[in-house]
C-alpha cells in the first residue's frame, strides 16, 4: 500500500527528472536522430524501461504515479489497472499492487493463435480501467489500447505515464477527443531544468527541438 503523504506535483516532477538523469535514461543522438514510437524523429530519447532495474527509484516513482492518479482522478475511481504491451506491463503491475486492484495487459495486436485475444487477464464489462504506460509523445499510440479495453465493455477514461514529452500541443486534444485524460509525472522541461553540468553543451540542439519539433524535423528532411 502507498504512504499517506507526498510532495507537491512540482516537487515530484523535479525528483522524477533527477532520477531519470541518475540512471542515464536520458539519451542524446549520435550521427542519426532517434525514431520515436509515433514514427517521428528526435535528437533525444527517454528510456523509461531502465527504471525496472533500479528498485529504490522504481518504488518511489510508482508511489508518485499512484498518488498522482488518485489525487487527479479519485481514490476509488478504478476497478482494474491495464498495462500497454510491453513497456507498460511492469508499471501497471506495480501500480495495481499499490492500489489493491486487479491487473491486466493489452496487446498491440491479437496474438494470432488460441483465443486471439488482445486483453490478457480478467477484464469484465463495466469495469473502470486505468491504462498505464511508460511514456507518451503525441498520445496517438494510446488510442488503440483504449479501444481494445472498451471493446470488452469496460470503460477507459484515464491513462497514466511516467514521462510526457509536453511539446506537442495536439497531444491533449488527441486524447481528449477520445475522452481520455492524461496523468504524468514529468516532461522534457523538468528534465532540462535538472540537467547535470556535463550535459549543458548539447542542450542547445535539444532546446531547438523542444521549442519547435516540426521545424527541427523540417530542417533535417
Say if strands 80-84 and 128-136 run parallel, antiparallel, or are unpaired: parallel
Q: For residue 10, is pLDDT > 90?
A: yes
CATH number at residue 60: 3.40.50.2020
Q: Which pLDDT band, with edges at 50, 70 and 90, does 1 fall under?
A: low
Q: For residue 147, is pLDDT > 80?
A: yes
Average of per-residue pLDDT values in the chain: 90
Most distant CA pair in the chain, distance? 53
Write the CB contacts of 46 (distance below 8 Å, at least 6 apart in sequence).
20, 25, 26, 27, 135, 163, 191
Looking at the domain assignment, is residue 221 inside a domain? no
Q: Please compute the mean of the pLDDT values over residues 75-99 and round it to a whole number.
A: 97
Looking at the domain assignment, is residue 177 inside a domain? yes
Looking at the domain assignment, is residue 105 inside a domain? yes
Looking at the domain assignment, is residue 95 inside a domain? yes
Q: Residue 111 in 3-state DSSP?
A: coil
Q: What is the pLDDT of residue 221?
A: 65
**Residue with the three cell numbers 511492469:** 90
Looking at the domain assignment, is residue 54 inside a domain? yes
Q: How many domains does the chain fold into? A: 1
**In angstroms, what is the C-alpha Rg of the chain?**
18
Structural domain of 86: 9-216
Lowest mean pLDDT among 58-67, 131-140, 193-202: 193-202
Q: For residue 69, is pLDDT > 70?
A: yes
Q: Please compute the mean of the pLDDT values over residues 13-33 and round it to a whole number.
A: 89
Q: Which pLDDT band, with edges at 50, 70 and 90, does 34 fall under?
A: confident
Q: Please compute the mean of the pLDDT values over residues 61-82 and round it to a whole number.
A: 96
Looking at the domain assignment, is residue 163 inside a domain? yes
What is the value of pTM for the model shown?
Answer: 0.91
Looking at the domain assignment, is residue 1 inside a domain? no
Looking at the domain assignment, is residue 151 inside a domain? yes
Q: Please compute the mean of the pLDDT values over residues 206-215 and round it to a whole number.
A: 83
Q: What is the pLDDT of residue 129?
A: 98
Q: Please compute the mean of the pLDDT values over residues 168-195 and round it to a whole number.
A: 93
| Model confidence pLDDT, tens digit, residues 95-117 | 999 999 999 999 998 876 666 78
Amino acid at each position: 500500500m502507498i504512504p499517506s503523504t507526498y510532495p507537491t506535483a512540482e516537487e515530484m516532477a523535479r525528483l522524477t527528472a533527477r532520477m531519470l538523469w541518475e540512471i542515464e535514461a536520458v539519451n542524446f543522438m549520435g550521427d542519426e536522430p532517434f525514431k520515436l514510437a509515433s514514427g517521428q524523429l528526435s535528437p533525444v530519447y527517454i528510456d523509461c524501461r531502465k527504471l525496472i532495474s533500479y528498485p529504490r527509484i522504481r518504488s518511489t516513482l510508482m508511489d508518485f504515479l499512484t498518488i498522482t492518479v488518485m489525487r487527479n482522478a479519485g481514490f476509488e475511481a478504478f476497478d482494474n489497472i491495464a498495462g500497454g504491451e510491453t513497456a507498460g506491463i511492469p508499471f501497471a503491475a506495480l501500480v495495481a499492487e499499490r492500489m489493491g486492484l486487479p491487473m491486466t495487459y493489452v496487446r498491440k495486436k491479437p496474438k494470432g493463435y488460441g483465443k486471439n485475444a488482445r486483453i490478457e487477464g480478467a477484464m469484465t464489462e463495466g469495469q473502470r480501467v486505468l491504462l498505464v504506460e511508460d511514456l507518451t509523445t503525441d498520445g496517438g499510440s494510446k488510442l488503440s489500447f483504449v479501444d481494445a479495453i472498451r471493446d470488452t465493455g469496460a470503460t477507459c477514461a484515464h491513462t497514466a505515464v511516467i514521462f510526457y514529452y509536453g511539446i506537442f500541443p495536439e497531444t491533449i486534444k488527441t486524447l481528449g477527443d477520445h475522452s481520455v485524460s492524461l496523468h504524468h509525472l514529468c516532461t522534457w522541461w523538468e528534465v532540462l531544468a535538472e540537467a547535470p553540468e556535463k550535459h549543458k553543451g548539447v542542450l542547445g540542439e535539444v532546446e531547438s527541438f523542444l521549442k519547435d519539433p516540426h521545424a527541427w524535423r523540417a530542417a533535417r528532411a
